[in-house]
Amino acid sequence: MSQVSPDAIERLLSRRGYRLTAPRRNLLEVMASLGDHFSADAVVGAAPEVGRATVFRTLRLLQD
């Protein structure tokens, strides 16, 4: 993920009809801290308070 601000992603999600929930915002911050290349498992490990399914759904949403 290139360095895109959580606010820019929030606007993008809003235009697509999605909300930037607290878990999604948390995941965006984690992904930003991990850098450009990371695995889903790295995100899961860095955000244990967010469910694994939420991580994968969010990654899929951002991929689209």
**Would residue 39 count as lying in a domain?**
yes
- As given in the structure block, the two tokens for residue 61 are 């949403």
pLDDT averaged over the chain?
Answer: 88
Q: How many domains are there within the chain?
A: 1
Which of 6-10, 19-23, 54-58 holds the top average pLDDT?
54-58
The domain of 19 spans 6-63
Residues 14-39 pLDDT 10s = 999 998 899 999 998 898 888 888 99
| Amino acid identity at 59 | L
Q: Has residue 42 got a pLDDT over 80?
A: yes
| Amino acid identity at 42 | A
**Would residue 1 count as lying in a domain?**
no
Its pTM surpasses 0.85: no
What DSSP character marks residue 16?
T
Q: Has residue 53 got a pLDDT over 90?
A: yes
